[in-house]
Structure 1
Amino acid sequence: MNNISETYQVAIVGGGPVGLYLGLCLEQAGISNIILEKRSAPRPGSRSLGIHPISLELFKELNIVNNFIRDGVKIHKGHAFVNTKKLGTLSFQSCPKPFNFILALPQYRTESLLEQALTERNPNILLRNAAVNTITDNGQHVDITFKHNGKSHTIRSEYLVGCDGKNSLVRRQSGISFKGQYYPDTYIMGDFSDNTDFGSDAAIFICDEGLIESFPLPNNRRRWVVKTTDYIDDVSKEQLTSSVFNRIGHSLSDTEYNMLSSFGVQKLIADSMVKDHTILVGDAAHIVSPIGGQGMNLGWLDAHDLANILPQVLGNSFQKDAILNQYQKRRKHAAKIAIRRAEMNMKLGRKITTPFFREMMVSLMLKPPISQLMANIFTMRGIEKWPI
């Protein structure tokens, strides 16, 4: 990016997957915007993986979906086990075509593809090495002061959108509270070379000692997620591989790995997703458990919804408050549904005193007609319309 203008219709803080996607949507809608991102490049690491069908449909609208499909792994089905006993398979093949699969793609590659598409369409939208300092809402617009390559700049926008994640500076400076709770669940995960026979299928193991999830990655790699009794601050390969072996008898000891991490889970929703001329999107607005892979996709749905209403908001001073209020209601509703679905996924993976009933329930979920409903739930279908 070479030019910094003084005024924009929309300024976006945060150039992760949600901010980049929103910039693409606004560019397509003819809305002038700038993305202020403090990092110099996409953060390395796989992190979020799953791109759900609803998101692939959004990417198709922007004519960028083929690049993602080219680089990702299509997951058409997932196998369910209780310990090592296979209960059945949940297939996504009967879901609406052409995207009747979940696409596995490391987040750094997702961000790189979005940035490439944005740069091709307008190289002056994304400004890296731009660290925001202050945000001031002046009643009719927002002034944003930031440092770029050591120099201070101030720009003005009609609306400011915070896409800057869980620890959002935009949310904090706007005085918006973030309410929720931590769950007792903790996990460790790692990306290993794939030595299973699952190929491009996912596998879920509901074990007596806690959940194990296994997902394919590009380049013949596989992610393993293991539920732990307590939070492990500095996870080792031995801790993960021994847990997998002890619970399901599968050895990862001779495999290579390129990522290990641990995480706890929580649910948080911003008290207001719209306040004056500030709008929160994605993790800045809501945090859901990563079990189920909904968070990034939920942020894209937020951004798509916002991009659809902004032309009306920017051009209609009389109705803008009502339009934004309805937007906020829709986004809070979708976040609450995502939270409930994530809670269901976590409950299935916890230790329980009645494993027989859980096994019976999971077996029913894998059989028609319930299996079709479960396939839709696991691919995030209906998340914006599902009743609370």
Structure 2
Amino acid sequence: MTKADVDIPVVIVGGGPVGLFLAICLIKKGIKCRVLEKRQEPVPDSRSLGIHPVSLELFDEVGITEPFLTSGLKIRKGLALTEDKKLGEISFEYCPKPHNYILACPQFTTEKILRNELQKLDEDALITGATVKHFDEHEQFVEITYSIDQQTNQQITANYIIGCDGKNSAVRQQASIHYSGKRYNDTYIMGDFEDTTDFGADAAVFLPNGGLIECFPLPNGMRRWVVKTNQYISEPSQLKLATLVQERLGYDLSEIKSTMLSSFGVQHFMAETFAKGRVLLAGDAAHVVSPIGGQGMNLGWLDCQNLAKRLHTLTDDKGELNYDPATLKKYSLRQKKIVKKVGRRAEINMALGRKPGIPFLRNLFVKGILQSPLRNKVAEIFTMRGLNDWWI
């Protein structure tokens, strides 16, 4: 079989936010693809919700921004507080326009929008209920075996297979790509509650002596609460989260409507390479960073932009997709550098949220930063600026 004989140039495994956006980017560049996704429907809960300005600019490039702006909520300011006073604030007003804000949009809405936009481009691109069994890599193509709703196996051939199938990626594991990193001791509980605060569209980050508490506004009058815990809570409940908030802030969430509760730990893992032969990785399949700061999903979208551009350069005059290890290596090297930079920023965010040895000094440091010209630099870091402005 030659490259001209393959069924489709690219098969993407995983149809979450990263896999769907990658498909859109590829099709916009004239590269046909198929997305194999296990789930029939988008995720049922909010999960990842922060869409950063760098991602909105990527959406601008492919013309899909408007439905996100219609569905999301713009966060233009973040407040830093202790249990009894305000330390300062970060305004995104002076960040580059037009997207000088962070957009809060629940993941189920994000996936729904991306599915709709992909269907407009190619109604056959997304194959749901598809479980990938295995793949075989050959010199000029990859053969993927999958089933629909666990029924009869089917085969599809492609020039490339791209794993966007999460941190436990079956694609990465079958390709024998090493995934290394570390787990932190930091643990959290979070939940979405009806918003009964006075913060409006502002985000709030509390730094009480007992540990970090964050709360972010969501569309439809809801608010996400994230609370630092002393150990992992295996059975999260509204009572446990409300008790921690009550103890640290004196704010009562016990009788407020809640729609989602979960616990999570923090880890930072990265694949040794994002490109091995005709196997490519993007999103959590390639890297996992701390969710504090909401950068993981956005980092995956940066992978998509870079990878789509690289593959576009491999398309010949006949529209066929060639193979060039050097080009794919550049994709891997560039994104790994970005991941390391995001990881360092995430570690700083986590460190500020831990129980301080001397709370007064920590608070004085935060107050000093937020009342100095450095606050604009902090706003740039929080909105993921300075990651995607160079090219290898």
State the TM-score, normalizing by the size of structure 1: 0.96
Kindly provide the amino acid, as one letter, of the partner of residue 338 in structure 1. V
Moved over 4 A (4+): 316-319
Which residue of the partner structure matches residue 353 of structure 2?
349
Displacement of 1:309 after TM fit? 1.1
**Equivalent AA in structure 2 for residue 44 of structure 1:** P
| Equivalent-residue separation in structure 2 for 1:208 and 1:318 (angstroms) | 57
Tell me if structure 2 keeps the 8 A contact 1:312–1:320: no
Q: Distance in 1 between matches of 2:321 and 2:242?
A: 58
Q: Which residue of 1 aligns with 2:24?
A: 24
Mapped to 1, the partners of 2:356 and 2:345 lie a distance apart of 19
Q: 1:184 is matched by which residue type in structure 2?
A: N
| Deviation (angstroms), 1:318 | 8.9
- What pairs up with 1:52-201 in 2 under 5 angstroms? 52-149=52-149, 150-201=151-202
Q: How does 1:1-388 map to 2 (within 5 A)?
A: 7-149=7-149, 150-315=151-316, 320-384=324-388
* SS of equivalent to 2:314: helix
Q: What amino acid is the match of 1:201? A: D
Contact 1:176 1:272 in 2 (8 A): yes
Letter in structure 2 aligned against 1:21:
F
**Aligned residue identity for 1:143:** E
Distance 1:339 1:225 in 2: 19
**1:222-255 alpha-carbon deviations (Å, 9 max, x no partner):** 0000000000000111110111111111111231
Q: Name the SS for the 2:212 alignment partner.
A: strand
Larger mean CA deviation between 305-314 and 92-101 belongs to 305-314
Distance 2:74 2:230 in 1: 32
Secondary structure at the aligned position of 1:144 is classed as: strand
The 3-state SS of whatever aligns with 2:186 is strand
The answer on whether the counterparts of 2:133 and 2:145 sit within 8 Å (CA) in structure 1 is: yes
Distance in 1 (CA, whole Å) between partners of 2:322 and 2:20 is: 30
Displacement, 1:283?
Answer: 0.3
Deviations 1:177-232 (A, max 9, x none): 11000000000000000000000100000111110000000110000000000000
Partner of 1:10, secondary structure, is strand
C-alpha contact 2:179 2:270 (8 A) present in aligned 1: yes
- Residue 207 of structure 1 aligns to a residue whose secondary structure is coil
Partner Cα separation in structure 1 for residue 165 and residue 235 of structure 2 = 26
Query: Which deviations, in whole Å up to 9, do the C-alpha atoms of 1:238-294 show, x marking residues without a partner?
Result: 110111111111111231001110000100000111000001000000000000000
Please say if residues 310 and 327 of structure 2, whose CA atoms lie closer than 8 Å, have aligned partners that are also in contact.
Answer: yes
**More off after superposition, 292-301 vs 151-160:** 151-160
Residue range with higher mean Cα deviation, 310-319 or 95-104: 310-319
The CA deviation at 1:368 is 3.4
Cα-to-partner distance string for 1:279-322 (whole Å, 9 max, x where unaligned): 10000000000000000000000001111110223439998222
Q: Give the distance between the partners of 2:25 and 2:290, measured in 1 at CA.
A: 26
C-alpha separation in 1, matches of 2:359 and 2:324: 52
**Residues 56-111 of structure 1, C-alpha deviations (whole Å, 9 max, x = no match):** 01111111111101111100001001222111111001001110000001001000
**1:158-193: CA deviation from partner (whole Å, max 9, x where unpaired):** 111100011101001101111000000000000000
Native 8 Å contact 2:166 2:284 kept in 1: yes
Amino acid at match of 1:50: G
For 1:160 and 1:319, locate their aligned partners in 2 and report how far apart those are by CA, in whole Å: 12
Secondary structure in 2 matching 1:334: helix
| TM superposition shift of 1:22 | 0.5
Q: Report % sequence identity.
A: 50
The DSSP-based 3-state class of the residue aligned with 2:300 is helix
C-alpha contact (below 8 Å) 2:11/2:33 kept by paired residues: yes
TM-score (norm 2): 0.95
CA contact (8 A) 1:180 1:266 kept: yes
Do 1:52 and 1:103's aligned partners in 2 also have CA atoms closer than 8 Å?
yes
Q: Note if contact 2:6-2:141 (Cα within 8 Å) is conserved in structure 1.
A: no
Change (3 A) 1:318 1:107: closer
Does the 8 Å CA contact 1:314/1:320 hold for their aligned counterparts?
A: no
**Kept after mapping to 2: 8 A contact 1:6/1:154:** no
The residue identity in structure 1 corresponding to 2:206 is F
> How far apart are 1:367 and its partner, in Å?
2.4
The one-letter code matched in structure 1 to 2:332 is Q
Listed as ranges, the gaps of 5+ residues in structure 2 are: none
